[in-house]
């Protein structure tokens, strides 16, 4: 992903803290903006951006990390109707962030890393069915805009 690239529907994006990235609204839709010299990415801001731009179709996945203060970002995404998940803390290299999120009830689901793809597919298919009463297999819409990790 490069500065100015559009956030594409149905694509998962992994972001590390060293990459100073935000999501901004541009003429052609939500776009990645790299903030040079801004320091490490604040996961709360990226989760907030996901909530603001995608609302109920946004997804936030918290994986192994040291972030301990994600309440505002995960809360904002949950309040907007988005989906919040965390890697199962027992499977993390550093479980600090995911464990905090689970303990505080900030995630709707925990996922095992080696089952991530199937868990996401199943969860999103079920939520997609909720939006329009049909399933993607039956030609129903797939409303998911992004996965912010």
Predicted local confidence at residue 31, as pLDDT: 92
Average pLDDT, integer, range 109-114 = 86
Q: pTM, whole model, 2 decimals?
A: 0.76
Average pLDDT, integer, range 8-31 = 83
**How distant, in Å, are the alpha carbons of 56, 78, 101, 148 from that of 38?**
29, 26, 26, 19
Please tell me the distance from the alpha carbon of residue 135 to that of residue 129, in angstroms, as a whole number. Answer: 5
Q: Where is pLDDT greater, at 60 or 17?
A: 60
Please tell me the distance from the alpha carbon of residue 88 to that of residue 97, in angstroms, as a whole number. Answer: 11
At residue 24 the predicted structure's pLDDT band, cuts being 50, 70 and 90, is: very high
For residue 42, pLDDT over 50 is answered with: yes
């Amino acid at each position: 992903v490069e500065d100015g690239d559009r956030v594409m529907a149905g694509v998962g994006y992994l972001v590390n803290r060293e990459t100073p990235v935000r999501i901004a609204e541009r003429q052609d839709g939500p776009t990645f903006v790299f903030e040079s010299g801004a320091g490490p990415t604040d996961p709360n801001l990226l989760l907030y951006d996901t909530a603001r731009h995608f609302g109920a179709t946004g997804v936030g996945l918290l994986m192994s990390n040291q972030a301990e203060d994600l309440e505002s970002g995960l809360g904002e995404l949950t309040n907007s109707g988005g989906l919040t998940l965390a890697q199962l803390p027992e499977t993390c290299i550093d479980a600090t962030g995911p464990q905090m999120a689970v303990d505080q009830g900030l995630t709707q689901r925990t996922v095992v890393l080696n089952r991530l793809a199937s868990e996401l597919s199943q969860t999103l298919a079920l939520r997609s069915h909720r939006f329009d009463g049909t399933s993607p297999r039956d030609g129903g819409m797939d409303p998911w805009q992004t996965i912010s990790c």
